[in-house]
Structure 1
Amino acid sequence: MPQLEPAPLLRGEIEEALDAAGHLDDRAIDLAGIALLFAALDRPGVSLVRYRHHLDDLVAGVRDAQAGSALEAAAALQRVFGERFGYDGDRLTYDDPQNANLMRVIDRRKGLPVALGILFTHAARGAGFALDGLAFPGHFLVRLETKGERVILDPFNGGRVMEIMELRRLVKQMMGPDQELTPALTDTVGNRAVLLRLQNNLKTRAQGQGDVERVAFLARSMLRLVPDDAALWLEYGQAEKHLGRLGAAKAALEACLEHSLDGYQTIEAQRLLQALRLALN
């Protein structure tokens, strides 16, 4: 008798898991695991089991290479993702929302730079290598470090090693011809920042399409991971107010004030709250 696959997680179970992750130390966050939970919110009824098995296969492939140096580890990642599993960046339909849903990225073997970067990070870390996302603008890159050696990789282009001149060209392409490569652009970022960058791709597209319901949904799910993000609480409150859900808007704006250290956020939240109180009375 074939073994039955475990039932898909219910939305409430996914939200509880995201809430729990919101209280973890950043380094304790399972980057790919949380990305799959975000993906599952958009794909109710689909089990995560085979996707988690695939993550294990990626780790095993890199570990089996028994790489020593940083360049050997980079080559192992390139072989596993490119030759064995056929991953690549989606250049033809770059703005397709599937490219930021990790389940669909695994299904299609293509995605955005940050989505592919999450898979690279999971595989490398699982195999014992230090790999982190970078603050580089417009095109997500990762830095692999082992035994005192560092290399910067481009997951969107098969894990290609980025030399300094390529980074200089890319930063001008992303930020303008007068922009120079500065150390801050290659600073590492934490797991939460990477996951927010992934979800912001979806939220920005929803904003561009005027889909306020989608913006509210994405903002609320992101807040489970970063419950002290005042800017996101403000954005969520604005969306809920626009949708006429005044109780949810009031709670979100009050949360913004609780966490805000920014003058504009405080003033805007207070202004919206005053208008809401008048509407609710």
Structure 2
Amino acid sequence: MAWDPAAKFGQLLQDEEFALHEGALCIAAHGCPDMDFEAEVAQLGELAERCDGSSRDRMLHSLFGELGFHGNRVDYYDPRNSFLNEVMRRRTGIPISLAVLAIAIGRRIGYHFEGIGLPGHFLIRDRDEPDAFIDVFAGGAILDAQGCEELFHQITGGDKGFHPAFLAPVDHVSIMERMLGNLRSIYAQSKDYANLEWVLELRTMCPTVPAGEVKQLGMINMERGRFDEAARRFDELAQFAEDDDEEQLRRLATLARARMN
């Protein structure tokens, strides 16, 4: 029986501690429709078996040295950098996808890594060594808090203030939102509405995504001729909107229904 990656993604979000790699593979399955979920999970297991688990540093050396995983600095905005199956196949990705990979492999060999949502970047840390931050995009380089602050200023150009809260662990749903947010930016920039549609559909399953993205999805639904979906979304938003916004959303819902005929 064919599996439904969107339905599975929604189910995963009900559990705060869902397996990150499963959520990431649900995202990847939308961009790679022929992906075999179980085969990709097995591939993670094979990679874990090839990593030296005797210490954290040796595991990182195995992953980013011997196995050759590295940050994609040449084509950073290639959407394949966000698809975990493609990251495993091509041995390259962006900070957050490499972080999900390292978290998944670490868990298989006894390390509990947490995601650190540094603005403009993404790090991990070992729960047992909370003062050591790992830059997976830079080959597993180890940073202290001062090093993270310097990295932040380097990324942002030094014109934004750093806050220690930037180094707090982020929950799994937030990691999924951010992965999807990267894809949303890529597909919106390229006006790839077919892919932007599924990205927004998954993003709007996440509980903290703003209502504006639901409206954006409704507009994309209309652009792609899915007028019934658009009308439903506008009606749902209108129930909780302020007066002026409600009127606009009702008009959009009416317009969508009119175009169904």
Q: Which amino acid aligns with 1:277?
A: T
**CA positional deviation for 1:248:** 0.9
Pair 88,228 (structure 1): closer, same or farther in 2 beyond 3 Å: closer
The answer to whether the 8 A contact 2:25-2:37 is kept is yes
**CA positional deviation for 1:134:** 1.4
> Which residue number in structure 1 is paired with residue 131 of structure 2?
150
* Equivalent residue for 1:85, pick from 67, 71, 94: 67
* Equivalent residue for 2:198, pick from 208, 217, 230: 217
1:25 aligns with 2:15: yes
**CA positional deviation for 1:39:** 0.9
Identity of aligned residues (%): 23
**CA positional deviation for 1:268:** 4.0
* Equivalent residue for 2:119, pick from 137, 160, 175: 137
**CA positional deviation for 1:270:** 4.7
1:280 aligns with 2:218: no
> Which residue number in structure 2 is paired with residue 43 of structure 1?
32
Equivalent residue runs for 1:1-281 within 5 Å: 10=2, 13-22=4-13, 24-27=14-17, 29-61=18-50, 65-67=53-55, 73=56, 75-146=57-128, 149-224=130-205, 226=206, 229-231=209-211, 232-257=213-238, 268=245, 270-277=247-254, 280=257
Pair 99,278 (structure 1): closer, same or farther in 2 beyond 3 Å: closer
Q: Which amino acid aligns with 2:250?
A: L
**CA positional deviation for 1:171:** 1.3
**CA positional deviation for 1:206:** 0.8
SS at 1:150 equivalent? coil
Q: Which amino acid aligns with 1:280?
A: R
Pair 256,119 (structure 1): closer, same or farther in 2 beyond 3 Å: farther
Structure 1 window deviating more from structure 2 (122-131 vs 188-197): it is: 122-131
Pair 275,185 (structure 1): closer, same or farther in 2 beyond 3 Å: same
**CA positional deviation for 1:15:** 2.6
C-alpha distance in 1 between matches for 2:92 and 2:109: 22
SS at 1:45 equivalent? coil
Gaps of 5+ in 1: 1-8, 68-72
Pair 102,149 (structure 1): closer, same or farther in 2 beyond 3 Å: closer
Q: Which amino acid aligns with 1:182?
A: H
The answer to whether the 8 A contact 1:213-1:243 is kept is yes
Q: Which amino acid aligns with 1:89?
A: G
C-alpha distance in 1 between matches for 2:59 and 2:248: 51
RMSD (Å) for aligned C-alpha atoms: 2.5
TM-score, with structure 2 as normaliser: 0.86
TM-score, with structure 1 as normaliser: 0.81
The answer to whether the 8 A contact 1:167-1:181 is kept is no
**CA positional deviation for 1:181:** 2.5
C-alpha distance in 2 between matches for 1:198 and 1:115: 8
Cα deviations across residues 204-242 of structure 1 (Å, max 9, x unaligned)?
111111222321121113334x26744332221232234
The answer to whether the 8 A contact 1:145-1:151 is kept is no
SS at 2:134 equivalent? strand
C-alpha distance in 2 between matches for 1:242 and 1:249: 9
Aligned residues: 257
**CA positional deviation for 1:246:** 2.6
Gaps of 5+ in 2: none
